[in-house]
Amino acid sequence: MSSDEELPFFADKSIVGDYSPLIKYWKILRKKGIPVEDALLAPRDFTYLKEQVEIQQKINLAVILEQLTNYFLNRIRCDVAKEAYREAYSVELSEEDTCRRLAKILAGWLIEASKNTGVIKLTYPWRKE
């Protein structure tokens, strides 16, 4: 990975290891003249995550990541997600698989951005804080 790698705002790769499919997805949407807003984080997303954390209090990262993946699924154009994965990794995956993977990247990005802006706090039980 190069040091000048593109990252979305407030992303730090602590949850999402590789943002290249999302970056490709945005580029393909723009090229096709499709608005990218559904694939960007919005204030309502931060509010949703904060509410979920408050309701469930101490929640496992894997559980909230799955909930957020489901939350983002309907905002992904699966045909474009498939194209983005093909361009990013030179692989053929199903639309359903690429759609879910891209939604999971958005979910991870939301967690990273929320952590980095103080909306939520991640704790690590194995660390003494």
- Looking at residue 127, its amino acid is R
Domain boundaries, the chain: 36-116
Over residues 47-81, the pLDDT tens digits come to: 999 999 999 888 889 999 999 999 999 999 999 99
| Model pLDDT, residue 22 | 98
Determine if residue 10 is left, alpha or beta; phi over 0 gives left, psi from -120 to 50 gives alpha, anything else beta. Answer: left
Over residues 98-111, the pLDDT tens digits come to: 999 999 999 999 99
* Three-class SS of 56-83: HCCCCHHHHHHHHHHHHHCCCCHHHHHH
Confidence grade of residue 2 (pLDDT, cut at 50, 70, 90) = very low
Confidence grade of residue 128 (pLDDT, cut at 50, 70, 90) = low
